[in-house]
Each structure stands twice: as C-alpha cells, then as structure tokens.
Structure 1
C-alpha cells in the first residue's frame, strides 16, 4: 500500500480547511504537512492512522484501497469522555448489559 497524497488533499478540501489548519490539527509543521500533500514525504502507518482519526476518515481511503471515507472505528478515551468510556467498558464486561442497552438504543432510534 502506498499513501495517496491526492486523497489527503481531497479530505482537506472536504473539511474546508487550509494546509496551515490541517497541520495545526495534526500537530505537525506546515512544511511537513505540505510534503505529505505533494508526495515528497510519505507518512508512517501510525501517522496515517492519526490523520484518519483526526480527520474522521478511513485509513484505507488515504491509501487508495477504498473509496469509503467513513471511519471503521471510533476511539473513546477515558480522559475525553469518561461517562461513555465507562459505559462501553461495562458493556464489554457483561453481555446481558450489552443486550439491554442495545434494545433500549434501538427503541430510542425508532422514535
């Protein structure tokens, strides 16, 4: 797999942000970000994962192996959202809780 710079440009344009803002969100220098976009430098796989997470997209989209931009996963951290993190942790530990919460969620989504 090879990183596709044009996909990064497409994603940035979809987010309606400039290169400087993209670099700021990724906590990298504008020069490094510019090198990613113009293909002079290929980001490491962990960096591509961070780009995907930060810009809420799919890693495979950035590698050009999928046209799907929606992410395959969402990261929930205990420091950013402790209540949701605790809920997910509880669901993972008890399948009965998982079933009850999913049933309740489905009913909420029907309304």
Structure 2
C-alpha cells in the first residue's frame, strides 16, 4: 500500500459528507490552508495523516489512495460511552457463530428496507 493520497478522492469524500473545506479542516484539526493544500495536491500528507483523514471523513485509506472504488470505511469504531446500546449489540453479536450472524444481518437488512412510520 502506497498511502499516496489522490486529491480528487479527498474532495469526493469531503463532498459526500456535504461539508466545506473549512469544516473538513476543523474536523482534522488543520488550518484551512493546510487542508486546501492536500485537496489541491500542493502538499502530500504522511501515511499516518492519510489514515486520520480517512477515519475523520468516514472513508477508507484504500479509497483515498486509489486502491479501491469503495468509499466505505474499512472499519468503524464504536465508543461504549457514546453509543452504549450499539456497543453492547456488537459485543453480543460477536459471540454468535457465523451462521447466526448471517441470519441476524439478513433480518437487520430487511428491517432497514421497510419504510419507517
């Protein structure tokens, strides 16, 4: 993995969140100018910074570096403090065997596809 950020992918990830360059910079704890330099390709972030950018913008390093077309993140971090029910659900699901996990996933997908009232 090269971790060489593709500026167009950075812009696409930011735009998919519907946020401005200034907001992206704020979320990344960067100056607006510093962020803009990454998005315009004037500066190349370190591999560690690319990982942080991916996490903050909710995408994957592979997407930002052109190794994948899939914008979905490689992993999701769930805080027990911020989402205790979700944390407990994931913790419980991880104890089930693969077949049960697949059935539960199919059930959740069916629930998600039904219109909510």
Is the TM value for this pair above 0.5? yes
SS of the counterpart of 2:69?
coil
Q: CA RMSD in A?
A: 2.4
Give the equivalent residue in structure 2 for 1:88: 90
Distance in structure 1 (CA, Å) of the matches to 2:46 and 2:81:
26
Distance in structure 2 (CA, Å) of the matches to 1:82 and 1:90:
12
Distance in structure 2 (CA, Å) of the matches to 1:108 and 1:56:
22
- Of Structure 1 and Structure 2, the greater helix share is in 1
Distance in structure 1 (CA, Å) of the matches to 2:110 and 2:72:
23
Which residue among 19, 41, 44 is the counterpart of 2:43? 41
Q: Mind listing any 5+ residue stretches in structure 1 that lack a counterpart?
A: none
Runs of 4+ in 1 over 4 A off after TM superposition: 98-102
| CA shift for structure 1 position 102 | 5.2
SS of the counterpart of 1:95?
coil
Distance in structure 1 (CA, Å) of the matches to 2:89 and 2:15:
35
TM-score (norm 1): 0.75
